Amino acid sequence: MNIAQQNQWSRGQLESVANCPACSSENRAVANFTRRDNEGAMPDLWRMVQCIDCQSIWLDPRPDAQSLPRAYDDYYTHDTEADDVPQNGGSGLAWRLINGYLNRRFGMHRQPESGWGYAIFSLIEPWRLKLDYYGRHLTYNRVGRPGCLLDIGCGNGAFLDRAKSMGWQVHGCEIDPKAVAACRSIGIDVIEGDAFAPQLVEQSFDVITMSHVIEHVHDQPALLQRAHDLLRPGGWLWLAVPNPQSIGLFVSNSAWHALHPPYHLCIPSQAILTNWLKEQGFSEIQLLRRGAHVRQIWRISQAIAQREVIVAPSPGRLFAWRLLADALATISPYRTEETVLLARKPD
């Protein structure tokens, strides 16, 4: 099927996006990324293009506003998910050390634990950064004592459940009714709606988190402005989004898992994100290192490459690239799979 001539997809209508949604540039790279969705659940072939000027990536054509919600009929956030660092990971020494680190770092109360965990993992930088990401960097020395937290696009509530164990008063909003039901099944009541839901009008928060949300929405600066409005003076925004300048994209090309069509409409570059945040009134913007993190998520890209018959590196070369990616992600935030940042609303 010739994508350029389509005006429909399997669940509705398409709309063309000629200019980069991030910077309005007309300069797109000649090469593009073409494939089906990550799960191969839909027959549609999608094209994502990269902006020469700002390096952001966008979907063209994309589902129109009326049909886009139909893509989420069988989206993965409907289901409860296994915790990245599960409570029942076992009683071995490694788990006791991990629990000890998380308890000391984030105020959790995980058992069994070893008090040596904090000292040991503080010395192992790749793992320390990985565990800090698990708690979304909400440590006392970064954002202050636990207060009122909103997770925008909270999915099935896995992080809200975690934040609750860290002492936060948790709130969430989610547009997917099936994901909302998943939240409520684990005892977390959330708003069925987006960040502009009327129930949030009179509320304010000490911290707002958005994990892989902004790339799903049409008007990204408006969402950042809404987050700024909902924060109390001195409050913090934590944000995670795929990084279009990652080593993973270079290695996997069209098979890169974070392209994730048709769900990801625009993946902004770090420079664009930083500019947007400044324009919306945020300050103290900090790009955060990610640590060792690519092994599991690169397996998704490998599976996509195999299914979609996309050329992939040999196992040996892939292993070498993985070592390099994790090493660079430990010392720098610029080539990681994700852009992760904190930004503050001034007092």
Tell me the HSE value of 150 on the side-chain side, using a 13 A CA sphere.
27
Region 203-209: mean pLDDT is 97
In order of 12, 77, 179, 241, 262, the CA distances from 74 in angstroms are: 16, 9, 10, 22, 13
Over residues 293-318, the mean pLDDT reads 96
The DSSP H or E segment spanning 211 is strand 205-211
Answer positive or negative: Cα dihedral of 196, 152, 221, 30.
negative
CA triplet 347, 280, 269: central angle to 5 degrees? Answer: 125
What is residue 3's predicted lDDT score, i.e. its pLDDT? 61
Strands 57-59 and 266-267: antiparallel
Residue 173 bridge partners (DSSP):
152, 191
CA-closest candidate to residue 77, choices 178, 159, 160? 178
pLDDT, tens only, 6-36:
689 999 999 999 999 999 999 999 999 999 9
Shortest CA distance to 124 belongs to which of 311, 291, 320?
291
For the stretch 57-115, pLDDT in tens is: 999 999 999 999 999 888 876 554 445 676 666 679 999 999 999 999 999 999 999 99
The pair of three-digit structure tokens given for residue 48, joined into one six-digit string: 């994502």
Q: Is the pLDDT of residue 278 over 90?
A: yes
Whether the per-residue pLDDT at 227 is higher than 70: the answer is: yes
What's the average model confidence in pLDDT over 254-258?
98
Mean pLDDT of 315-340: 97
Q: pLDDT tens for residues 143-166?
A: 999 999 999 999 999 999 999 999
DSSP single-letter state for residue 38: T
Q: pLDDT at residue 116 above 60?
A: yes
In percent, the amount of the chain with pLDDT more than 90 equals 90
| Spatial CB neighbours of 331, under 8 Å, sequence gap ≥ 6 | 289
Let me know how long the chain is. Answer: 347
Question: Structural domain boundaries of the chain?
Answer: 3-72
Per-residue confidence (pLDDT) for residue 74, from 0 to 100: 80
* pLDDT given for residue 75 in this prediction: 82
Looking at residue 147, its pLDDT comes to 97
Residue 211 above 80 pLDDT? Answer: yes
The rounded distance, in Å, linking the Cα atoms of 216 and 191 is 18
Cross-strand pairs, 221: none
Mean pLDDT of the chain: 94
Residue among 25, 112, 311, 341 nearest 208 (CA) = 341
Q: Give the per-residue SS3 of 251-281.
A: HHHHHCHHHCCCCCCEECCHHHHHHHHHHCC
Q: How far apart are CA 10 and CA 4, in angstroms?
A: 15
Alpha helices by DSSP H, listed for the chain, are 93-106, 116-121, 125-134, 140-143, 158-165, 177-185, 220-230, 247-252, 270-279, 294-308, 315-331
Higher-pLDDT residue of 6 and 1 is 6
| Whole-number pLDDT of residue 73 | 84
Check residue 77 and give its pLDDT. 62
pLDDT interval class at 119 (50, 70, 90): very high
- At 52, list the tokens: 């020469």
Taking the model in full, what pTM does it have?
0.95
**Residue 4: predicted pLDDT:** 47
Indicate whether 282 pLDDT > 60.
yes
